[in-house]
Structure 1
C-alpha cells in the first residue's frame, strides 16, 4: 500500500510540474514568426478532409503542400454545433487573422462561426463557440510532433507539427479560403 501511495504522490507531482511548464511556455509564446512568402508562392485555398485527417494547401489548382492533422476530440463526428462540443466545423470559411503569440505554436484563425452557424446555435439555445484555429502543438510540447496525429486532441481546431505550422504560416495569407469537409 505504501508503494501505491508513493506512486500516486509522484504522479501528482509530475502532473503539477507539467502543468506549470505548460503555463510558462504559453507565456513565452512561439518565438519569431516566419515572413510570408512572395504573393506568387502563397496558397489561394486550403482544403481539409476530416475523415482522412489531411489538409492540403493549393495554388491555382496545384497542391503546394499536404499535412497529417489532428482535429477536435470529437474527431469527424460532424459539424461544430456549439461551444464545448469538441467538433471541428465543416463548410467554407476564411483565414481572417493570425496570432504569433499563441499558446500553441503560431495560429491562424478560421472565421467560424459564420451567420448560419450563429443562427443554428441560437435557434438551438446554445452559444456557437469560436476561436477555431490552425495551429502547432502547445508551446514547449513540440517534441510530441511525431505522435500528435495519433489521436484527436484539440477543442475543435486543426493541429499540425510545429515545423509544418511555420511553413503554413509563411504560405497562407489572411483572406485565404478554407474548405473543411467530412
Structure 2
C-alpha cells in the first residue's frame, strides 16, 4: 500500500516540479516580448546576432582595439566629435570616422549608443545606430572608448522615438522650439575598447 501511495505522489509531484522549474524561462520570454513591444525597431532586429569577423578581431587586437562589430573600418575621413557636434550640416550624408567615449548604450538590445567627447551626461552627443540593425553592441558598452565609421545624419525625432530613447536612458537634445533633434551616425562598423 505504501509503494502505491508513493507512486501516486510521484506521479503528481514530478509534473508539478517540472512546471515550477519552467517559471524562469517563461518570465524571461515574456520580458523579451515586452521589451520588443516597447521597442520601435523591427522584431528581426532583436534576433540579430553580433557579427565579428575573425580577421577584424586580430587586426583590432594589434592596434589596441578590443571588440569589433559590423564591417572592418575602411579609413573614412576622420572627423573630431566636437567639430561634428558644432557644425553637423557640412558632414550630413557623408561617411566619416568618429572617436569618442560611449556615454550610454541601449540597455535592452544594444541597438544604439551615444558618443560624447567626455562621456558625461551633460551636453550634446551623437547617437550611433547600426546599418540595417545588422549588429549590436554589448549592453554594458557605456564607458568604453569607441571608434565608429558610418554616414552622418541630422534628424528631427518624433516625440514617440524621443520618449523611447529617453526610456532607455538616452539624452535627447531639443531645439529652441522644443522639438527633439540630434546628430546621428548610421555605422557600418564599430570598434570598442575599455
TM-score class, shorter-chain normalisation, is under 0.3
User: Larger % of helix: which?
Assistant: 2
Name the TM-score, length of structure 2 as normaliser.
0.21
Rg larger in structure: 2
More strand by share: 2
Q: TM-score, normalised by structure 1?
A: 0.22
Structure ranking higher on relative contact order (CA contacts 8 Å, 6+ apart): 1
